Structure 1
Amino acid sequence: MKKAIILLLLLLLPVVSAQKVKVVVYDDGYCLVKIVMNVTPGRFVIPLPVYEFSELSAKLNEKEVPLFLEDGEFVVYPTTNGTLEVEFLTPELTSKEGRVWTVHLPFNYSAEVILPEDSVIVGLSGIPLSISENSIKMPPGEQYINYVFPHKEEVITITETNTQVVTETNWGSVLLAFVGGVAIGASPILFSKKKRVKTIATGEISIEELSEKFNLNEDEKSVILYLSDRGGRAKQAEIRNDLGLPRTTAWRLLKD
């Protein structure tokens, strides 16, 4: 009788299967985490590996469902069988020491990691399950990947009158230059997230030259041109809708 009761309770528990974790790493250290699992009706608890996150969403069979945060864990209550997708953006999975970045994978399931296109892997915590271009799949458990950006260099130029420092410049600084006066020969003072950057510019500069100098991607160039056409001012929703940018991409580009 006792065994029958235990078996009945096990049958009544919600079932989770085929859990998948995908981590998209951006060049500024932010990561878009997507957890996918097959579920049945019931209460599901998903361990939260980070404390800081944004852009949180949960979908069951492509439809938004409520997601609760309880004692440092995500909790969701599916009402039907289907595929549950939980997604969030976080800066806490990466760290940097010198030139070397590390993405940490504190998951109990294998995780597929999409590294930035211009990055190069220099270290792994274990043998990967698969590697394809900038995509790498790591086994379950505490894992990590070390990577660098070999084409990004720190440049220090000393002149008789001033010192110019350009290092890991936030692309928003480029926008200030492009919209605020470089294109017409002014000499603005720029500020980036990581360092104060002072640049003396004369003459005209094109978006292609800015792209080459600051390693801009296509989304960043589109946003710069969009704001330039509108005098440097626009709402984030307008930019996202007019340029067709994903919500997480727009948030990452315009968060500061």
Structure 2
Amino acid sequence: MVRLAAILIAIVVWGAAEASFGALPHTEITVYPDGLAHVTAQVEVDPQEPSFVVGLLGTAVDSFVAVDEDGVLLAAERAGVSSMELETFGSGLVSISYDVHDIVSKDGRIWTFSLDIDHEYTLLMPGGAVIVGMNAIPRNLDTVGESVRLEMPSGPAEISYITNTARSVEPVAPPATPAPDDDGPSGDSGTLMLLALPLAAGAVGAFLAIRARSRRPGGPAPHIGEEPEPLDPEAVFARVPGLRDEDKEIVRYICENGGEVSESRLRKKLLRPRTSMWRAVQRLSREGAVDIIKRDSHNQIRIRREGGPQ
């Protein structure tokens, strides 16, 4: 009898925790060339609960927005290092979006996306990115324009890639395979795992190339295993003469970070007030140096190439 009561109490506590934190969200992550990641998710919550706590995918988070199914903005406050508490006011479905700065890192020319969560998610890589390694096999992959879209499983994942600012990438030697013990093949499973990871990454690249060719007859294959051309700010200055010094600083930063960055990232890195940065970006757009691209609740600023949109 005591055991039955304990089981019932555990079930009630588990159910309360599920209602407090909501169901597993449908999550989409977009990674931009400057390393910024934008997260959108939809979470089903208990409409009888006044609030719930949602976990964040990182600790360096800004531009957090939460709305209910009617588009009403919900109040939110930080509940922990990587969580937010939302006042749902009886809503059954909550949509959230935010920028996160610490799930993508850079070492030399190599960028690395790293994440470990308990549910599946969709990952859109930067346009023109070249994947050079991964430790998790996606459930599905596709291309969206020049970007690779991956359907990732739950659990830890690391994806290494280069963007079109990288001129060359030196090959990375595979890890040395330890010699088996004299007593028997106890190290065989670890050896097989070391061999399987490079083969899996190669299979993903081959599959993506074949799929892209079948979707774009006669067109170029997606950017897997080939070097994109870097951006030269001096070429922009030659094409658009007479730029102000502060505007040239913006152009240089964008070129050094893949040719496309968010406006909020520009403000933080160059320490410009919001209004001053907005005016500078508008001025660069009028003069034909950049394009302003609306994405969700923020602007992406992209270097305009010769022959690009006017």
Residue 48 of structure 1 and its aligned partner are, at CA, apart by 2.8
User: Which structure has more RCO (C-alpha within 8 Å, separation ≥ 6)?
Assistant: 2
The one of 66, 69, 82 equivalent to 2:75 is 66
Residues 60 and 150 of structure 1: CA distance in aligned 2, closer, same or farther (over 3 Å): same
Q: Which residue of 2 aligns with 1:34?
A: 40
1:239-254 map, 5 Å: 245-246=294-295, 248-250=297-299, 252-253=300-301
Q: Which residue of 2 aligns with 1:199?
A: none
Distance 1:10 1:215 in 2: 47
Matched, 1:93 2:103: yes
Task: Report the TM-score when normalising by structure 1.
Answer: 0.62
Whichever residue aligns with residue 136 of structure 1, its letter is L
The one of 38, 60, 71 equivalent to 1:52 is 60
Residues 108 and 249 of structure 1: CA distance in aligned 2, closer, same or farther (over 3 Å): same
1:227 alignment partner, SS class: helix
The one of 219, 227, 232 equivalent to 2:283 is 227
Matched, 1:113 2:113: no
Residues 11 and 104 of structure 1: CA distance in aligned 2, closer, same or farther (over 3 Å): closer
1:105-144 map, 5 Å: 105-133=115-143, 134-144=148-158
Check whether the contact 2:120–2:152 (CA below 8 A) recurs between aligned residues: yes
Check whether the contact 2:247–2:280 (CA below 8 A) recurs between aligned residues: no
Alpha-carbon RMSD across the aligned residues, in angstroms, is: 4.4
Distance 1:46 1:138 in 2: 20
2:53 alignment partner, SS class: strand
TM-superposition CA deviations, 1:52-105 (whole Å, max 9, x none): 222110112132111110222211132324221221112211111222211112
Check whether the contact 1:24–1:114 (CA below 8 A) recurs between aligned residues: yes
TM-superposition CA deviations, 1:35-66 (whole Å, max 9, x none): 22111132322223322222110112132111
Residues 37 and 169 of structure 1: CA distance in aligned 2, closer, same or farther (over 3 Å): farther
TM-superposition CA deviations, 1:204-248 (whole Å, max 9, x none): xxxxxxxxxx9679x9xxx9995258689xxxxxxx9xx783464
Check whether the contact 1:58–1:67 (CA below 8 A) recurs between aligned residues: yes
TM-superposition CA deviations, 1:157-211 (whole Å, max 9, x none): xxxxxxxxxx76679x958983x616xxx99994334999xxxxxxxxxxxxxxx
Whichever residue aligns with residue 253 of structure 1, its letter is I
Task: Report the TM-score when normalising by structure 2.
Answer: 0.53
Check whether the contact 1:118–1:151 (CA below 8 A) recurs between aligned residues: no
Residues 71 and 136 of structure 1: CA distance in aligned 2, closer, same or farther (over 3 Å): same
Residues 53 and 6 of structure 1: CA distance in aligned 2, closer, same or farther (over 3 Å): closer
Count, aligned residues: 206
In the alignment, structure 2 segments of 5+ residues that lack a partner are 169-229, 264-278, 303-310
Identity %: 18
Whichever residue aligns with residue 66 of structure 1, its letter is A
TM-superposition CA deviations, 1:96-128 (whole Å, max 9, x none): 122221111232211211011201211112111
In the alignment, structure 1 segments of 5+ residues that lack a partner are 155-166, 197-213, 233-239
